[in-house]
Amino acid sequence: MTVIFVLSLLLLLLFIGVPIAFALGGLGLGMLIFGGFSPLMAPQGLYSLADNFVLLAVPLFLLMSNILLKGGVGRDLFAAVQSWVGHWPGGLAVATIFSCGIFAAISGSSVATAATIGTVAIPEMEKRGYARRFILGLLAAGGTLGILIPPSIPMIVYGVIAEESIGALFLAGIGPGLLLIALFVGYSVLYAWLGPDYTPMPRAGWDERRRASIRALPTLGLAVLIVGGLYAGAFTPTEAAAVGFGGALILTSLVLRTMTREKLHAAVMDSMKTTVTILLILAGAKIFGKAITLYRIPQDISAAIVATFDTAGLFLLAVAAVLLVMGLVLEALSMLLIMVPVLYPSLAALGIDPIWFGVLFVILIECALITPPVGLNLYVVQAVGKARIGEVAAGVWPFILMMLGTVLAIYFLPAIAMYIPFKL
């Protein structure tokens, strides 16, 4: 009963338009006071949330990707990849997916990935006569790679709430990320072979390839350094982020020479704004999480889940269904912050590995956000591509099916995610 009441209140606050951070924090604080607990827990929660070394990775990864973005790295990457694969059937689409995949290694967000590659790739593909709905669907899906291939802001958040190793989560995202790249590329090639006509690109000359690659190579090197350093255990995620931040500064100001004082200031301000919005939501969620734990809500839900679902498969199916519904109105972070504290206690009882679950959860969240009729990432792609929501929705279906297929594949073959962090 309490659960339903609290959930309705939360939804009410969110729908009235209260910023998510304060809907969570305010409701949590109200519950503390109403339940006779000390309101001192609120400022204590705020303090301990920010007093966290692991979370420093959030501002630093954001700084890194914003500095690279302002330095025009997105365009360079796309140009380089295109010079190699542009002449394949569906070459531009393939180049788009590969670019998203590489950009994902320097950015922790699906929206930034879709937006950056989208602004370069959409006009090019339209010029070459690709169907609009295909282009838009491709980008909505390609963006997903941003949070699967490390670094990944949602995985940092998941790791912090669940108190799991963020390094392991990052590495566990690589396998599924590569699988999705392969599926998307395969689909693009097939689509181009069988589908409507488009103008193929001429094969780029070696000279052009060399020139484009040299410009993109340092960025690729930085991505390799970060992922490699995490993999080898040389850096913690926070240190990897700081190295990426330093690398991005050197790259854009000394190597590519595209950084100006104004651009740097803009990048620093953008990073601050995003960092503050994300960390405030985490702070609000911390207070909310504290309050619901004192009301024993996660424990009750966990008991109910264990009593209802006797297998991990059914449980995951239910989680997927709930996420799909939540994706209609909430964005990724809120879904994570509301669902994970509530579900986490059930994982051990059902014998589910929390790292494996984290990867599945992140893919399911992204599915939810691009599933029509309503999904917040659809709006983003729509805005970048200046399209109608219907067009995006029509193009995104094949990709959603591939993503759900990947979820199933990881479910039946956990090694896809778990091999790299634990076996290799």
Partner 1 sequence: MFRLIDRIGDFLAMLAAWMFFAIGGMILWEVFFRYVFTSPTIWAEELARFFQIWALYIAAASVLRQGSMIRIGLLIDRLGPRARAAAEIFSLAVVAAFSAVACWYGGWIALDSFEAGRMTGTMLNVPHWMTEIAIPLGFAILLLQALTQIVRAIRGEPIPGMNSHEPAITDEI
- The Cα–Cα gap between 182 and 136 comes to 19
Q: Contacts with partner 1 in 125-164 (CB under 8 A)?
A: 153-154
What's the min distance (Å) between Cβ of 43 and partner 1?
Answer: 4
Stretch that binds partner 1, among 41-49, 136-144, 204-212, 298-306 (CB under 8 A): 41-49
Binding-site size for partner 1 (CB under 8 A) equals 72
Which of 329, 352, 394, 402: binder of partner 1 (CB under 8 A)?
Answer: 329
Give residue 124's identity as a one-letter amino acid code.
Answer: E
Residue 26 interacting with partner 1 (CB under 8 A):
yes
Query: If you ran DSSP here, which 8-state letter would residue 200 be given?
Result: P
Nearer to partner 1 (CB atom), residue 105 or residue 185: 105
Residue 106 and residue 219 in contact, taking contact as beta carbons nearer than 8 Å = yes
What's the min distance (Å) between Cβ of 234 and partner 1?
Answer: 8
Residue 22 interacting with partner 1 (CB under 8 A):
yes
What's the min distance (Å) between Cβ of 23 and partner 1?
Answer: 7
Stretch that binds partner 1, among 44-52, 78-86, 194-202, 306-314 (CB under 8 A): 44-52
What's the min distance (Å) between Cβ of 110 and partner 1?
Answer: 8
Which of 76, 124, 331, 391: binder of partner 1 (CB under 8 A)?
Answer: 331
Which of 42, 117, 161, 226: binder of partner 1 (CB under 8 A)?
Answer: 42
Residue 17 interacting with partner 1 (CB under 8 A):
yes
Radius of gyration of the chain (CA): 22
Residue 111 interacting with partner 1 (CB under 8 A):
yes
Q: Contacts with partner 1 in 207-246 (CB under 8 A)?
A: 235, 238-239, 241-243, 245-246
Residue 34 interacting with partner 1 (CB under 8 A):
no
Which of 6, 59, 177, 288: binder of partner 1 (CB under 8 A)?
Answer: 59
- The Cα–Cα gap between 76 and 117 comes to 10
What's the min distance (Å) between Cβ of 140 and partner 1?
Answer: 12
Q: Which of 104, 66, 61, 55 is nearest to 242 (CA)?
A: 61
Q: Which of 89, 124, 88, 99 is nearest to 195 (CA)?
A: 89
Q: Which of 46, 2, 52, 55 is nearest to 24 (CA)?
A: 46
Q: Contacts with partner 1 in 244-283 (CB under 8 A)?
A: 245-246, 268-269, 271-281, 283
Residue 292 interacting with partner 1 (CB under 8 A):
no
Query: If you ran DSSP here, which 8-state letter would residue 205 be given?
Result: P
Q: How many C-beta atoms lie closer than 10 Å to residue 218's C-beta?
A: 18
- The Cα–Cα gap between 252 and 321 comes to 44
Using CB atoms within 10 Å of the CB of residue 91, give its burial: 0 to 12 exposed, 13 to 18 middle, 19+ buried.
buried
Nearer to partner 1 (CB atom), residue 350 or residue 381: 381
Nearer to partner 1 (CB atom), residue 73 or residue 94: 73
- The Cα–Cα gap between 8 and 136 comes to 35
Residue 23 interacting with partner 1 (CB under 8 A):
yes
What's the min distance (Å) between Cβ of 114 and partner 1?
Answer: 10
Which of 112, 179, 359, 403: binder of partner 1 (CB under 8 A)?
Answer: 112
What's the min distance (Å) between Cβ of 67 and partner 1?
Answer: 10
Residue 16 interacting with partner 1 (CB under 8 A):
yes
Residue 63 interacting with partner 1 (CB under 8 A):
yes
Q: Which of 375, 381, 275 is nearest to 63 (CA)?
A: 275
Helix H, strand E, coil C: the string for 372-417 is CCCCHHHHHHHHHHCCCHHHHHHHHHHHHHHHHHHHHHHHHCCHHH
Residue 70 and residue 247 in contact, taking contact as beta carbons nearer than 8 Å = no
What's the min distance (Å) between Cβ of 250 and partner 1?
Answer: 11
Q: In residues, how long is the chain?
A: 424
Residue 13 and residue 26 in contact, taking contact as beta carbons nearer than 8 Å = yes
Question: Chain centroid to CA 414: how far?
Answer: 20
Helices 332-350 and 20-34, packing angle to 10 deg: 50
Say whether 35 sits in a helix, a strand or coil.
coil
Q: Contacts with partner 1 in 364-403 (CB under 8 A)?
A: 374, 376, 379-380, 382-383
What's the min distance (Å) between Cβ of 124 and partner 1?
Answer: 22
